[in-house]
């Protein structure tokens, strides 16, 4: 006879709220008349993500001593809760942008999928064994596959969905196979138990185990779009509807990075000499490939996609050192990064709608003067990405590099600094396109004619992102304290 586990319902309240909202939005697709469907679904999604923020903040406050719940399948601790807050906040922004920017067909289903993906990520960051890890990964991935292809009248969107599906499945398969090998070697699926088993049975350096770890690294590398597992990123980011891209570039990375650090610290402390170097290598590859490839991009979405690869590299520096300082640096970096990544894609969405065609550095010309708020926000994001002191990205970079130095990896500091230098060129290129084209080279003809749509919600979302990005520079102290408490849940 199987005994059902005792369930700490509160620990999964964020997930339940999001799933509930997702269900309601899905019902709306059937029950609410077409005319009101967009408003209804967007409201439900907005309330759902806001509710998610509330419950995860509550969980953060109430989970000072982290522990596992539900048959040891899920972590209730501050690391999970803080990651959930960041995820729900980016989702809230995505809802605001999507409400104005996702085409009318299947709008309610879209929001239901968004909430489902978010719930999956919220579960993913708290996963405590290989089974929940894989299930939640598939859970949010499948939702994202569909979201990428939701605008299926456009070839690019369909292609993005398919590409993400094929390559994403490859990543999932790698993760699953790796998990199987680890299970085969240790006979355990719980993260903590794996570490115990490795320690007890002297599996240190076991071939099966190491191979399994390597495949898990690869599988998670796909999700965080770090090089060399990044090939899908530019194409998918370019083809997917821009609000979806905004969500993927921020939320998916948050989820993947946060979980990765937990898995490797908890399950494979004995193999740290392997995975720290593996992640350092991946970080360097991401920094090099992301930055150099971004230099030659003309399409802004592709440019930002490569920039997100390079930032995965920066965050992996914090992750790879595997110290408390590195964990804190990673958690802190995620806050301004997700705000800036989300915000910059949201701005691209506004321009895209205005022009009715893909945004390139050429047709971005003059945008800064035409729509001053979005322009200013964009240059804040670009300079912030480049690590200039216009936002928390500056402190984030300083933090991860400090963590690398403290770990004794001065060479990684140097790589980070050089990568920043290269990145400067294309970030400045975007600012140049926004503001500095001479009037005669502006061949801007919005196809819709007349003034651009007002897009109140999009402005609100960009304002939110701007506030978080600049605010994280001012409020470094409190944010670091939050990150420190969160990182205290991990076994450094």
Partner 1 sequence: MTVADLTSVLVWLPIAAAAAIWILPLSRYATGSLAVLVSLIEVGLWIEQAIRFDFHGSGLKFAQETPWIKDLHVSYHVGEYAFSLWLVGLTVIAMAACIGYGFWVGRDRPRAYFGLMLFLTGATVGVFVSQDLLLFYAFFEAMLIPLYILIGVWGGPGRIGASIKLLLYTMTGSLVMLASIIVFGLKAGTFDLANGPTSFSRWLFLGFMLAFALKAPLFPFHGWLPDAYREAPPEVTAVLSGVIAKAGTYGMLRIAITKFPEPAHFYGTSIMGLAAVTLVYASVLAFRAPDFRGAVAYSSMAYSGLIALGLFAGKDLAYDGAVLQMVAHGLISVSLFLIAGMVERRTTTGEFALLGGMARGRPVLATLLMTTGIISLAVPGSAAFAGEFLILAGSYQRAWWWAVIGAGAIVLAAMYMLRLISAVLHQARGSTVSDAALDLRPGEIALVVPLVALLLTLSAWPAAISHHSFAGDVPATAIKAQFK
Piece of the chain touching partner 1 by CB under 8 A; list 46-54, 259-267, 421-429, 449-457: 421-429
User: For residues 93 and 387, which CB has a smaller minimum distance to partner 1 in the complex?
Assistant: 387
Residue 411 as a binder of partner 1 (CB under 8 A): the answer is no
Which three-class secondary structure state does DSSP give residue 491? coil
Among 42, 224, 289, 480, binds partner 1 (CB under 8 A): 480
CA 458, CA 372: separation in Å to the nearest integer? 14
Output the six-digit token pair for 199: 């320690």
Task: Name the minimum Å distance from CB 306 to partner 1.
Answer: 19
User: For residues 150 and 378, which CB has a smaller minimum distance to partner 1 in the complex?
Assistant: 378
Cis geometry, peptide bond prior to residue 228 (ω within 30 degrees of 0):
yes
What's the Cα-to-Cα distance from 170 to each of 138, 216, 231, 333, 409, rounded to whole Å? 12, 12, 12, 28, 32
Q: Which of residues 344-373 bind partner 1 (CB under 8 A)?
A: 369, 372
| Radius of gyration in angstroms for the set of CA atoms belonging to the chain, rounded to a whole number | 21
User: For residues 39 and 436, which CB has a smaller minimum distance to partner 1 in the complex?
Assistant: 436
Residue 76 as a binder of partner 1 (CB under 8 A): the answer is no
Residue 389 as a binder of partner 1 (CB under 8 A): the answer is yes
What's the Cα-to-Cα distance from 471 to each of 74, 224, 349, 391, 436, rounded to whole Å? 32, 25, 24, 7, 28
- Number of residues near partner 1 (by CB under 8 A): 36
How does DSSP classify residue 67?
A: E
Among 383, 385, 409, 426, binds partner 1 (CB under 8 A): 383
Piece of the chain touching partner 1 by CB under 8 A; list 3-11, 155-163, 224-232, 386-394: 386-394
Piece of the chain touching partner 1 by CB under 8 A; list 76-84, 228-236, 392-400, 459-467: 392-400
Residue 405 as a binder of partner 1 (CB under 8 A): the answer is yes
Angle at 225 between CA 92 and CA 490, to 5 degrees: 75
Piece of the chain touching partner 1 by CB under 8 A; list 36-44, 185-193, 241-249, 472-480: 472-480
CB 11 within 8 A of CB 74: yes
Residue 484 as a binder of partner 1 (CB under 8 A): the answer is yes
User: For residues 158 and 476, which CB has a smaller minimum distance to partner 1 in the complex?
Assistant: 476
Which three-class secondary structure state does DSSP give residue 190? strand
Among 401, 457, 464, 488, binds partner 1 (CB under 8 A): 401
Among 183, 345, 394, 409, binds partner 1 (CB under 8 A): 394
Among 158, 208, 214, 476, binds partner 1 (CB under 8 A): 476
CA 98, CA 92: separation in Å to the nearest integer? 10
Piece of the chain touching partner 1 by CB under 8 A; list 57-65, 205-213, 354-362, 423-431: 423-431
Q: Which helix (H) or strand (E) holds 69?
A: strand 67-69
CA 373, CA 383: separation in Å to the nearest integer? 15
Residue 381 as a binder of partner 1 (CB under 8 A): the answer is no
What's the Cα-to-Cα distance from 140 to each of 20, 146, 255, rounded to whole Å? 16, 10, 10
Residue 292 as a binder of partner 1 (CB under 8 A): the answer is no
Q: Which helix (H) or strand (E) holds 75?
A: strand 74-76
What is the helix, strand, coil percentage profile of the chain, to 5?
Answer: 75, 0, 20
Interface residues with partner 1 (CB under 8 A) are 325, 328, 369, 372, 376, 379, 383, 388-390, 394-395, 398-399, 401-402, 405-406, 410, 413-414, 417-418, 420-421, 424-425, 428, 431-432, 435-436, 476-477, 480, 484
């Amino acid at each position: 006879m199987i005994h059902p586990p005792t369930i700490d319902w509160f620990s999964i309240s964020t997930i339940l709220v999001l799933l509930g909202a997702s269900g309601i939005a899905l019902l709306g697709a059937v029950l609410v008349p077409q005319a009101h469907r967009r408003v209804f679904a967007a409201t439900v999604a907005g309330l759902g993500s806001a509710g998610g923020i509330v419950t995860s903040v509550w969980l953060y406050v109430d989970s000072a001593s982290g522990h596992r719940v539900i048959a040891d399948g899920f972590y209730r601790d501050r690391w999970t809760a803080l990651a959930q807050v960041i995820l729900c906040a980016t989702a809230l922004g995505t809802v605001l942008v999507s409400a104005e920017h996702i085409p009318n067909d299947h709008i309610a289903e879209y929001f239901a999928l968004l909430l489902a993906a978010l719930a999956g990520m919220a579960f993913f960051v708290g996963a405590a064994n290989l089974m929940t890890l894989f299930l939640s990964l598939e859970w949010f991935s499948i939702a994202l596959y569909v979201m990428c292809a939701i605008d299926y009248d456009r070839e690019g969107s369909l292609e993005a969905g398919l590409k993400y599906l094929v390559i994403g499945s490859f990543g999932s398969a790698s993760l699953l196979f790796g998990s199987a090998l680890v299970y085969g070697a240790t006979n355990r699926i719980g993260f903590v138990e794996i570490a115990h088993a490795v320690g007890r049975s002297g599996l240190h350096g076991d071939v099966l185990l190491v191979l399994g770890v390597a495949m898990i690294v690869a599988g998670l590398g796909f999700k965080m779009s770090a090089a060399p597992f990044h090939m899908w990123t530019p194409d998918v980011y370019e083809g997917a509807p821009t609000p979806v891209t905004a969500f993927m570039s921020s939320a998916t990375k948050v989820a993947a990075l946060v979980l990765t650090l937990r898995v490797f610290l908890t399950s494979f402390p004995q193999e740290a000499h392997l995975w720290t170097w593996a992640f350092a290598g991946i970080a360097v590859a991401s920094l090099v490939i992301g930055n150099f490839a971004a230099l030659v991009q003309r399409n802004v979405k592709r440019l930002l996609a490569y920039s997100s690869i390079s930032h995965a590299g920066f965050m992996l520096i914090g992750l790879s050192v595997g110290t408390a300082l590195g964990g804190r640096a990673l958690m802190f970096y995620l806050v301004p990064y997700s705000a800036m990544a989300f915000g910059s894609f949201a701005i691209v969405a506004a321009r895209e709608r205005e022009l009715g065609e893909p945004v390139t550095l050429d047709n971005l010309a003059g945008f800064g003067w035409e729509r001053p708020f979005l322009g200013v926000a964009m240059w804040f994001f670009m300079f912030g990405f480049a690590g200039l002191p216009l936002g928390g990205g500056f402190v984030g970079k300083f933090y991860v590099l400090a963590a690398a130095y403290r770990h004794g990896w001065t060479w990684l500091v140097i790589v980070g600094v050089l990568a920043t230098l290269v990145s400067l060129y294309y970030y400045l290129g975007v600012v140049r396109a926004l503001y500095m084209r001479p009037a005669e080279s502006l061949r801007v003809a919005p196809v819709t004619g007349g003034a651009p749509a007002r897009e109140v919600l999009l402005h609100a979302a960009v304002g939110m992102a701007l506030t978080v990005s600049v605010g994280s520079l001012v409020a470094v102290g409190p944010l670091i304290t939050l990150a420190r408490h969160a990182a205290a849940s991990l076994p450094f």
